A and B are shown apart, each in its own frame.
With several copies, the nearest count.
Chain A
Amino acid sequence: MIKMTERERIEVLVDAPLAPQLARLALQAGITGHTLIRTDSGQGHSGEWSEDLISGATAKYLFLTVANSESATRFLDSLEPLLESHGLVVLRSIVDVIRPERF
C-alpha cells in the first residue's frame, strides 16, 4: 500500500489581478508549488460577482497550495495584512499526500 503523509492544504479565494502577489508570498514562505483554479461567480457580503466583465478585474481564482505545517503557517501569517484590504477567503485543512518531500 502506498505511503501517505499529512500536509496542510491552503485555499485562498483571490481577485485575479492579485493572484501573482499570493504566489510571491508563498514562495517567500518557502512553498514552491501552487495551482490556480478558475471560478465562475459567487456571492458574499460585498454583493454578487461573476466573470462576465470584459476587464477581468472582478474575476476570482481559487489559489490552492499544499505545504508542510511550518511553511503553511509562515504563508498564512504573511497574508494577515492583506485580509481586510483584499477581502480574501482563506481555508486550511489536512490532506494526505504521496511523495511528501515535494511539499
Chain B
Amino acid sequence: MDQLSATLLSAPVLFFVLGALAAAARSDLSVPETIAKAMSLYLMAAIGLKGGVEVAKAGVGPELVSALAAGLVLSATIPFLIAPVLARFGRLDRTNSGAVAAHYGSVSVVTFVTASQVYGANGFAIAGFMVAVLAMMETPAILSGLFIARREKGTLFSRELLREVLFNGSVVLLLGSFAIGMVIGEEGFEPISPVFTAGFTGVLCLFLLDMGLIAMRRILKTRALTLRLAMLAIVFPIFNGTIGVLFGSAIGLDAPSAAALGILAASASYIAVPAAMRLSLPQADAGLYLAMSLGVTFPFNIVIGIPLFRWLAEILGGAL
C-alpha cells in the first residue's frame, strides 16, 4: 500500500501526528478554541464552494440523486446496525448505546476534507457533489440514535432538536456554500479562490494540529473508555466504511467517490451530534462518546481509513 505512506507523509497528517505527540508528552501547546471554530467554518465553506463550482462546471447527473439516497440510508441505518453491538459486546445501557450509535451514523467533516485533500493531491479526485452527500449524512443519525435510546418514552423530538437537525450550523454552511458555488461558477469563484483554494491545505494543517492535540488529550483524560469500547471504535469504521464503499460502487459511483462514501460511513461526528446529545440525551456520558469518536475513530480514519478505503474502492472499481 503505497497510499499509506503517501497519506502518512502528507503535511496535514504529519501535523495531526505532531499534535498527538505534543499532547502525549503533556506539552502545553494549544490552539484557542475560537480559532479552531473559525478554521472549521472556513473548511466547510471552502469544501462547499468547491463542490458547488465543480457541479456548476460538470453538471449533475443521476448519480447525485442515488448518492444522496445512499447517504441518507447509511446515516439513518448505521445506528441500528451498531447499537446492539454497543449494548451487548460494549456493555452499554440503552441511552449510551443510542448516543454512541448516533455519532457513527453521522459524519466527520474534517475526515472528509482531509480525504479529499489527500486523494486530490494524488490525482484521485472526489466528485464535487459528494459535498451534498456529506451534508445529507450529518443529521439523520441523530434521529435514529434518539429513537434507539428512548423507544418507549414520551415525546421523541423537541422543537429545539428538530431545528438542530434541520438547520444545524454545519449543514446550513455546507449546503449554503455549495449553492453559492453553483451560482457563481468558475468565473465568480476566481476572486475568492486565493482564500478558499490556495489557503485550503495550509489551514487544514493547522486545524489537524489542533485535532491531534484534542484527540490525544481526550484519550488521556477519559475514564469511561473500556478496552471493549476502544476495540469497537476501530471495528466500526472498518465495518461501516466497507459498507459505504460497497454501496457506492454498487450504485455506480466512480472509485474516488465510492471511497469518499466509505470515508463518510466510517467517520463519526464530533461536532453536530455531541451538541444534539447534550440537549436531548443529557444522561448519556459525553466523555464516552467523545473518547470513541474523537479519540479513537478520528485518528484511525485519518491515518488508516483514508488509504484503506481508497485501496478498497480501486479494487472494486477494477472488479466491477
Contact = CB atoms under 8 A, between A and B. Distances in A.
Report A-B touching, CB under 8 Å.
yes
A87 B282 contact: yes
Interface residues of B, number: 28
B37 A54 contact: yes
Nearest to A56: B275
A93 interface: no
A57 B286 contact: yes
Contact of B287 (A18, A47, A52, A55): A47
B271 interface: yes
B287 A46 contact: yes
Contact of A15 (B221, B282, B285): B282
B274 A47 contact: no
Interface residues of A, number: 21
Contact of B275 (A17, A46, A85): A17
A85 B272 CA distance: 21
Contacts of B214: 52-54
B66 to A, nearest CB: 31
Interface in A69-103: 82, 84-87
A53 B221 contact: no
Given A54-B40, A57-B286, A18 B279 contact: yes
Given A51-B33, A52-B30, A57 B40 contact: no
A55 B282 contact: no
A95 to B, nearest CB: 24
Contacts of A57: 271, 274-275, 277-278, 286, 290
Interface string B186-225: 0000000000000000000000001000100100011100
B279 to A, nearest CB: 4
Contacts of B277: 57
Nearest to A15: B278
A46 B224 CA distance: 9
B283 interface: yes
A84 B95 CA distance: 14
Given A54-B210, A54-B271, A86-B282, 5 more contacts: A53-B270, A55-B271, A55-B274, A56-B37, A58-B286
15 contacts: A46-B287, A47-B222, A52-B214, A53-B290, A54-B33, A54-B37, A54-B40, A54-B210, A54-B271, A55-B274, A55-B275, A57-B277, A57-B278, A57-B290, A58-B286
Interface of B: 30, 33, 36-37, 40, 160, 210, 214, 217, 221-223, 270-272, 274-279, 282-283, 285-287, 290, 294
